[in-house]
């Protein structure tokens, strides 16, 4: 019997224990000298003394401004302060994350703790140290540049880990991007995991509607994922060409389209966007620009322009960050790019606006829903935590599980703090 999404085939580009090996994480402890560790400790304790949180040390003492709050305060539990401060001194935020991976600190309110750091810490770091940041940051490896070969390798490192792994925490649509929920009277997203699939379809329909996708529309999707948008569009009668760099995802989308009786309407191609040809009534790309790489944005937007027929529409869903923070992060290795998304960089709205105008596009519509992404990530993170034993049964070790717990909480915190946002944007052709 053909496997359903509940029992997908397992495919891996590398064994799970190699994806975030404990030996490599542990090796980071030795790189931080005692002077750097002392400076890092002083900066950390000075900053956290003013933050609405608590830091608990092995000897039982606690520090932080959370003592003065009446409501619940996130707690950071330091199991090994010496190693934590050595990592922090050696590689700053990368060290902060790797210390969690290694089990040197924990928090029962991980996302809430990281939200405090994301929202408050930048204003507490002395300006001279912020200015010097880029001089001390690790540079991204040249091997992770998004050339045609490098882009495929970077995509495989994340998306080809295992279909079963992603199926453990995604909903049945297998949509790995921000959902769009119903909202309460205060404008906050509501609903649990039981409405996640509905919220994902609402997001897809909104973008397809804005791009005029319907019966017999010629649609190109750049970045297939596991096929939810392609299937949704084909169910409207659109003729969909969807391209991906993941052979695993290509197989999955083909299987899903055939199972849904939509195989004749969905053409899944293993192809780089730079090699795509033809013209389409609509071109859509959901949370794929983050993997393009800043130096390749001109080629990406030029491809969007070239592939769109006169009178057509281009629909993007993009994670964004403030422009100055994007510039500060450009070219630097971060914990996310080192352990989760090699080669990735999140654009700013200003960068998207500039690149799209240069390519001859004009913006017709924009819609932001960052709070919905924070809610989406919380549901994914809760589901991932509930299924820790199933993750282990797939062969993924404790370091990998802690890595992904931090990744999901770290991302949730970025949206909750307003450091990150997500936008649907629709463009026409000049």
Q: How far apart are CA 83 and CA 85, in angstroms?
A: 6
In the chain the domains, ranked by start, together with CATH numbers, are 32-136 (no CATH), 143-429 (3.40.50.150)
Q: How far is CA 231 from the centre of its chain?
A: 22
Judge whether 289 and 300 are in contact, CB under 8 Å. yes
Q: Give start and end residues of each alpha helix (H) in 286-397.
A: 297-307, 323-329, 335-339, 349-358, 370-386, 388-393
Q: Is the CB of residue 317 less than 8 Å from the CB of residue 210?
A: no
Q: How far apart (Å, rounded) are the C-alpha atoms in residues 98 and 26?
A: 8
Residue 140 has pLDDT above 90, yes or no: no
Mean per-residue pLDDT, 378-386: 97
Structure tokens at 217: 């529309």
Asked whether the predicted pLDDT for residue 131 surpasses 80, the reply is: no
Count how many Cα atoms sit within 13 Å of the Cα of residue 66 in the half-sphere of its side chain: 18
- Give the tens place of pLDDT for each residue, 262-309: 999 999 999 999 999 999 999 999 999 999 999 999 999 999 999 999
Q: Is the pLDDT of residue 69 over 80?
A: no
Question: Which tokens belong to 168?
Answer: 């453990």
Segment 312-332 shows an average pLDDT of: 92
Helix pair 349-358, 297-307: axis angle to 10 deg: 50
Mean pLDDT is lowest, of 38-47, 128-137, 313-322, for 128-137
Q: What pLDDT sits at residue 162?
A: 84
* Helix (H) or strand (E) segment spanning residue 257: helix 247-259
Residue-wise pLDDT tens digits, 150-160:
666 766 667 67
- 144-196: pLDDT as tens digits: 666 777 666 766 667 677 889 999 999 999 999 999 999 999 999 999 999 99
Contact 5, 169 (CB under 8 A): no
pLDDT at 21: 41
DSSP letters along 160-177, please?
TS-HHHHHHHS-TT---S
Say if CB 206 and CB 367 are below 8 A apart. Answer: yes
CA distances from 413 to 21, 36, 49, 112, 116 (A): 25, 27, 20, 7, 8
Q: Is the pLDDT of residue 15 over 70?
A: no
β-bridge mates for residue 240, sequence order:
219, 266
């Amino acid at each position: 019997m053909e496997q359903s999404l509940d029992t997908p085939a397992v495919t891996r580009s590398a064994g799970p224990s190699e994806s975030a090996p404990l030996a490599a994480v542990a090796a980071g402890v030795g790189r931080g000298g005692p002077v750097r560790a002392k400076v890092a400790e002083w900066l950390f304790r000075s900053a956290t003394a003013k933050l609405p949180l608590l830091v608990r040390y092995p000897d039982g003492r606690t520090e932080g401004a959370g003592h003065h709050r009446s409501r619940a305060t996130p707690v950071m539990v330091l199991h090994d302060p010496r190693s934590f401060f050595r990592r922090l001194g050696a590689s700053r935020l990368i060290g902060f994350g790797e210390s969690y991976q290694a089990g040197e600190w924990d928090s029962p309110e991980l996302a809430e703790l990281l939200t405090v750091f994301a929202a408050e810490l930048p204003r507490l770091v002395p300006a001279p140290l912020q200015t010097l940041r880029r001089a001390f940051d690790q540079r991204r490896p040249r091997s992770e540049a998004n050339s045609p070969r490098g882009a495929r390798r970077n995509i495989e490192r994340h998306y080809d880990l295992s279909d079963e792994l992603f199926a453990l925490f995604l909903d049945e649509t297998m949509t790995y991007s921000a959902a769009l929920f119903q909202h309460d009277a205060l404008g906050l997203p509501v609903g649990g995991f039981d409405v996640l699939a509905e919220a994902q379809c609402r997001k897809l329909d909104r973008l397809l509607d804005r791009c005029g996708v319907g019966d017999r529309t010629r649609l190109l999707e750049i970045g297939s994922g596991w096929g939810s948008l392609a299937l949704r569009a084909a169910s409207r009668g659109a003729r969909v060409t969807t391209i991906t760099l993941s052979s695993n995802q290509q197989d999955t989308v083909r299987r899903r389209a055939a199972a849904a009786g939509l195989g004749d309407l969905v053409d899944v191609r293993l192809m780089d966007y730079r090699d795509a040809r033809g013209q389409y009534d609509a071109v859509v790309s959901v949370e794929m620009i983050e993997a393009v790489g800043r130096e390749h944005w001109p080629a990406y937007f030029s491809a969007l322009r070239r592939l769109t027929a006169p009178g057509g529409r281009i629909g993007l869903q993009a994670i964004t960050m403030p422009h100055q923070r994007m510039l500060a992060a450009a070219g630097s290795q971060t914990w996310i790019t080192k352990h989760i998304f090699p080669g990735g960089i999140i654009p700013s709205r200003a960068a998207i606006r500039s690149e799209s105008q240069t390519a001859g596009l004009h913006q017709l519509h924009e819609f932001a829903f960052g709070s919905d992404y924070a809610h989406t990530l919380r549901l994914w993170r809760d589901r991932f935590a509930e299924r820790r034993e199933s993750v282990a049964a797939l062969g993924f070790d404790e370091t990998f599980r802690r890595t992904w717990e931090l990744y999901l909480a770290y991302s949730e915190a970025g949206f909750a703090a307003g450091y990150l946002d997500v936008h649907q944007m629709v463009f026409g052709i000049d």
